[in-house]
Amino acid sequence: MSSPDRGPSPGFSERLSSARAKAAALAATRAAIFREELAEKGVFAAQATAWFGVVVFFGSIAVLLATALIAAVLSKLLGSAIAGVAATLALYAAVIAVGAVLGWKALEKVRPFEFPATGAELAKDFEALSAATAPPPPEKEADEDDLEARYRAESE
């Protein structure tokens, strides 16, 4: 079972031990890749949260301005100016719209269940582990040329 130039072939326990060591090293690498992808998604989620925070902040101010506008309209009936309060309300509504659009765009980039690099590397790992745990190929018997050469040498 051993060839003079390769040494003895490893047994099942050695192959299993080697496969275990390789699997542990690969699992650590894949976990690092996963953490990196997860951190990237966290950045996008943080951006979305920040923009929605802007929306909530300016939305609450808009509610206050809407109340002020109603108060101004009632004041106008009594002889006061509305134009300044209405323009301010329009400005805050524009800020809310921009914040909502930017927040939504950032949230679309999160894709919480897609980890393409980790999936591809795990597929490679599975192939490598399958190859590592496969039994070694049987040793090659002497080919026909060697048999023919030995036969000729014996016959001479």
Q: Which pTM does this prediction carry?
A: 0.41
CA distance 138 to 1: 9
CA distance 153 to 146: 10
Please state which of the ranges 13-22, 88-97, 125-134, 136-145 shows the lowest mean pLDDT.
Answer: 136-145
CA distance 91 to 80: 21
User: Left, alpha or beta for 79 (phi > 0: left; psi -120 to 50: alpha)?
Assistant: left
pLDDT for 90 equals 81
CA distance 51 to 42: 14
CA distance 85 to 59: 15
pLDDT for 15 equals 83
In SS3 terms, 47-104 reads as HHHHHHHHHHHHHHHHHHHHHHHHHHHHHHHCCCCCHHHHHHHHHHHHHHHHHHHHHH
pLDDT for 103 equals 94
pLDDT at 82 over 80: no
Which residue type occupies 116?
Answer: P
Name the average pLDDT for the chain.
81
CA distance 123 to 117: 10
pLDDT for 74 equals 64
Mean pLDDT of 4-12: 66
pLDDT for 46 equals 92
pLDDT grade for 51, boundaries at 50, 70 and 90: very high
- How do residues 99-150 score in pLDDT, each as one tens digit? 999 999 999 988 888 888 888 888 888 888 888 787 877 666 555 567 677 7
pLDDT for 144 equals 58
Contact 9, 136 (CB under 8 A): yes
CA distance 136 to 150: 28
